[in-house]
Structure formats: structure tokens, C-alpha cells
């Protein structure tokens, strides 16, 4: 029983074990910031809202409409890329991946991986596309156009690569677990409004307290929607603590910021790109190298970006998917292809300057 749990929830196990080991090494348990607690709270209400939309039949209806059209992978990858530019990579995947998993098609594993890459590539283009971009933008007091101009080659080259990959993928239909269409439940409209409220809090248009509308509604009218993947939330909680420990351990031993790009890209593979940006900003004025390094670091390992964990957990936890070990191998293989391609792209552009 315990072995099965560890195999199924290996990310949670690794993050928890890493948190305990690094805390023992540092002789200090990490302090969680208010911002990190807010991120967990927003993730919780997003998961609840998406689950509510699934129960209402809206997700199935959207999936059915997409399935009946042409160029399914192309549409989904493009939607993920452009949505992540506006709503962050995490939110884009929270919206797109459940719709994708409801599709009655094959090759879902490859499609989810391409969506994760698209979310990381698209979110890199804007200051608010992901948390590390927002931090770098404000910390270095950058102008919008100089920020976008610096990272634009990264995003646009990967957009072309991903759209081409999505175009050439052969997606066979399958007769297993067909999508059953039904009349939309009235709650779909309510959850649609609640999703807009949550997204507006992400954009800081509304205060984070507005998300309590979701909690109040589900407690009063739809408690079954609270049955979400709590292991994902705990993985994030442990991962935040692990990243804080790694930041403190590395900060005490680093003396100067040489090879900022490579170090930040490689460091992101272990402790994610957000804490890497927070750490390296203390040691370098080269914001462009840090921007490229942390966004490159979003590719590769599952820990490179929190968006990777979201896509991965959605897939392996879904009822209609299997063989998580094979999916993990594919995720890492394709992710590291993008990672090394990003490194080559950076040094090529540096050489051409």
C-alpha cells in the first residue's frame, strides 16, 4: 500500500524528503512567505473552479467541439501559448489541460507535453507571464519594450517549433471512453463567473479575498467539487520550502555571479526558476542573462517550472491515462531537447551580436 502510494505520488515524496533533508542540513525549517501562501490559496480555488466546470459539463462540451474540428493539436498548443502570455503559464495549463484530457483522441501524452512547453515559452514574453519575469521586471526597473525585445527571439522561435510540431503530429481518434454530451448544468454559468473572478485576482484587478466567493459557493451548494488533487497542493507546499532551503544553502556559498545564464538555467532544474531568479538577482546586474536563464530553466526537469508539475500531475492523475513511467520519460526527453535547444539559441544570438 505504501509502496503503491510512493510510486503514484513520487513527486510529493521527493519534495517532502528533500524538504526534510535540506532542513536538517541547514538546521532550520523554512519560513513560508505570505506570497507563497497566496499562491497556494489561488491554486486551490483554481482547482476547485476547474473541477466545478468539469462537473457542470462545460469542459466536455468544449472538448467535443474541439474534437469535431480540424488541426486539434495546433489549436490547443496555440491557445496555450497565447493564453499564458496574458494569464500566466500556470493558469493557462489549469484551463487547457483538463479540456485536452477530456478529448476522445490518442497521443494525449505528447499533446500535454507540447502544451507545457507552449505555456513556458509563451509566458516568457511578457513581464506578467510568469512569477520570475514579474520579479526581474520590477527588480531591475525595466521598461516594457526593452523587456519584450530581449526575450522575444526565445518565445517566437519556440512558437514556430511548437506549432510545426503540433501540425505534423498524427492524432488518431479512439472509440474508448467517448465524450458524452449532455445539457449544460446551470452551475456552469456560476463557475464561469467564479473563474473570471479568480483570474482577475491573479491579475491583481480584484483583491485575493474575492476568491472566498468560490469557497462560500462550494460549501453551500456543491461540496463534491472539493474533491480535488490535494497531493498537488502539498507538493507545491513542500517544493516552496525545499526551494527556500536551497536558496539559503547556495547563497551562503556563492561568491560572485559568473556565467549567469548557464548557472541560472541549471539551478532552475533543481529548485525551479522562480527561486532561482530571486537568488541570482542578488549577485548580478545582467538581467538579460538571468531572464533567459530562468526561462530556459523552465524546460527540462519537472521541477524546472511549477507549470510542468501542473501538467504532469493532471495527466498522471486522470482516470483515462496510464503508464506514468513512460509519460515521465517522454516528458523529460522532450523537455531536455527544448532545454538544450534554448542554450544553443542563447549562445548563437550572443555570437551574432
Summarised one tens digit per residue, pLDDT across range 114-170 is 999 999 999 999 887 887 887 888 778 888 889 999 999 999 999 999 999 988 887
* Contact status, residue 58 vs residue 82, Cβ threshold 8 Å: no
**Burial (0-12, 13-18, 19+ Cβ within 10 Å), 243:** buried
Which cell is 307 given? Answer: 507549470
**Among candidate residues 320, 270, 277, the one with its CA nearest the CA of residue 295:** 277
Report whether pLDDT(5) > 60.
Answer: yes
- Of 5-14, 40-49, 86-95, 263-272, least confident by mean pLDDT is 5-14
Q: Using 50, 70 and 90 to split pLDDT, how confident is the model at 306? A: confident
Task: Give dist(CA 48, CA 224) in Å, integer.
Answer: 10
Q: Choose the most confident range, by mean pLDDT, from 39-48, 61-70, 256-265.
A: 39-48
Q: Please tell me the predicted confidence (pLDDT) of residue 257.
A: 43
The residue with cell 522575444 is 152
Does the pLDDT value for residue 283 go beyond 90?
no
Amino acid at each position: 500500500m505504501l509502496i503503491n502510494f510512493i510510486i503514484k505520488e513520487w513527486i510529493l515524496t521527493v519534495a517532502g524528503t528533500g524538504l526534510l533533508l535540506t532542513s536538517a542540513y541547514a538546521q532550520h525549517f523554512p519560513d513560508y512567505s505570505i506570497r507563497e501562501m497566496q499562491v497556494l490559496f489561488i491554486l486551490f480555488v483554481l482547482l476547485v473552479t476547474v473541477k466545478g466546470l468539469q462537473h457542470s459539463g462545460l469542459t466536455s462540451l468544449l472538448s467535443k467541439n474541439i474534437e469535431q474540428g480540424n488541426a486539434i493539436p495546433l489549436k490547443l498548443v496555440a491557445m496555450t501559448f497565447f493564453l499564458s502570455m496574458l494569464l500566466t503559464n500556470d493558469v493557462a495549463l489549469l484551463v487547457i489541460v483538463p479540456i485536452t484530457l477530456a478529448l476522445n483522441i490518442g497521443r494525449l501524452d505528447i499533446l500535454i507535453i507540447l502544451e507545457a512547453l507552449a505555456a513556458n515559452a509563451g509566458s516568457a514574453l511578457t513581464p506578467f507571464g510568469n512569477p520570475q519575469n514579474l520579479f526581474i521586471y520590477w527588480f531591475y526597473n525595466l521598461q516594457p519594450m526593452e523587456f519584450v525585445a530581449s526575450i522575444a527571439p526565445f518565445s517566437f522561435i519556440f512558437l514556430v517549433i511548437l506549432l510545426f510540431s503540433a501540425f505534423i503530429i498524427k492524432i488518431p481518434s479512439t472509440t474508448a471512453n467517448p465524450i458524452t454530451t449532455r445539457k449544460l448544468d446551470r452551475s456552469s454559468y456560476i463557475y464561469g463567473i467564479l473563474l473570471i473572478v479568480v483570474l482577475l485576482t491573479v491579475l491583481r484587478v480584484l483583491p485575493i479575498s474575492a476568491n472566498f466567493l468560490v469557497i462560500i459557493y462550494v460549501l453551500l451548494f456543491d461540496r463534491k467539487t472539493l474533491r480535488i488533487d490535494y497531493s498537488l497542493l502539498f507538493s507545491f507546499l513542500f517544493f516552496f520550502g525545499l526551494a527556500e532551503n536551497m536558496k539559503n544553502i547556495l547563497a551562503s556559498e556563492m561568491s560572485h555571479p559568473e556565467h549567469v545564464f548557464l548557472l541560472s538555467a541549471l539551478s532552475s532544474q533543481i529548485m525551479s526558476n522562480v527561486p532561482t531568479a530571486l537568488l541570482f538577482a542578488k549577485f548580478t546586474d545582467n538581467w538579460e542573462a538571468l531572464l533567459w536563464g530562468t526561462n530556459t530553466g523552465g524546460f527540462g526537469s519537472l521541477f524546472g517550472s511549477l507549470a510542468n508539475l501542473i501538467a504532469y500531475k493532471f495527466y498522471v492523475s486522470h482516470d483515462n491515462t496510464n503508464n506514468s513511467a513512460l509519460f515521465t520519460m517522454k516528458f523529460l526527453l522532450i523537455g531536455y531537447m527544448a532545454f538544450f535547444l534554448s542554450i544553443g539559441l542563447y549562445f548563437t544570438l550572443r555570437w551574432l551580436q
